Each structure stands twice: as C-alpha cells, then as structure tokens.
Amino acid sequence: EVQLLESGGGLVQPGGSLRLSCAASGFTFSGSAMSWVRQAPGKGLEWVSTISYGGASTYYADSVKGRFTISRDNSKNTLYLQMNSLRAEDTAVYYCTSGGSGYYPNWGQGTLVTVSS
C-alpha cells in the first residue's frame, strides 16, 4: 500500500522559514517524480513544485519561485520542501504527491502551514 506521510507544518511568522518532509513507502520512491500541491483554506488546488526521480530537475510555480526549494533523499525515501520568506498567502494545507506534470496518482493526508503574526 502506498503511503505518503507529511510533517513539519505549523504556525510561522511572515518572513520566516519552515521545512516540510514527506516519508514515502509502498512504491519505488527513487523511480518516481514527486510534487507538492497546496490548498489555501476554502480554496482550490495549486501546484507548487515538482522534482524528477533522481533529483536533477526541479520545477516551481511562479508564486514560490526563488523562495521555496524542493529536494529529495532517495536513500531515506523522503521528499522535502524548504520554504523561506513566507507570506500570509502561503497559508495552506500542503500535500505531498507522487508524479508530476498534472498527473498525481497518490496523495498524503496534508500538513497545515499557517503564516501569521
């Protein structure tokens, strides 16, 4: 059974930083592109970032480019999202997903990030 378990969310002040983690199991993590998708309270889904299976290629939405960094450790089956210079509009549930390019077959349960003073 595929499992994606996010952690690291919480309350952070504007301008602060946070690192999200996603522990994967039940599939060949090192063979799969991985992504982060977020959902602001009461809003729709927004693609945030994707990383290739080996980690060599990374892609970002314009809204987070230059502030967020996606990375992975295939030896630990773990995906990361380093979020810097956080803004109120980054407040959302962040989902870890397998896949990319509009195709996200598996989703974690999400972790809530709240940016507020």
Partner 1 sequence: QSALTQPPSASGSPGQSVTISCTGTSSDVGAYNYVSWYQQHPGKAPKLMIYEVTKRPSGVPDRFSGSKSGNTASLTVSGLQAEDDADYYCSSYAGSNNLGVFGGGTKLTVL
Residues in contact with partner 1 by the rule CB under 8 A: 35, 37, 44-47, 50, 59, 61-63, 95, 100-110
The Cα–Cα gap between 23 and 11 comes to 21
Question: Of 17 and 103, which CB lies nearer to partner 1 in the complex structure?
Answer: 103
Q: Least separation, in Å, of the C-beta of 109 and partner 1?
A: 6
Token pair, residue 65, equals 């480019």
**Alpha-carbon dihedral angle through residues 107, 85, 60, 40, given to the nearest 10 degrees:** 40
Token pair 């690291």 in the structure block, residue? 8
Question: Of 1 and 13, which CB lies nearer to partner 1 in the complex structure?
Answer: 1
Question: Of 64 and 83, which CB lies nearer to partner 1 in the complex structure?
Answer: 64
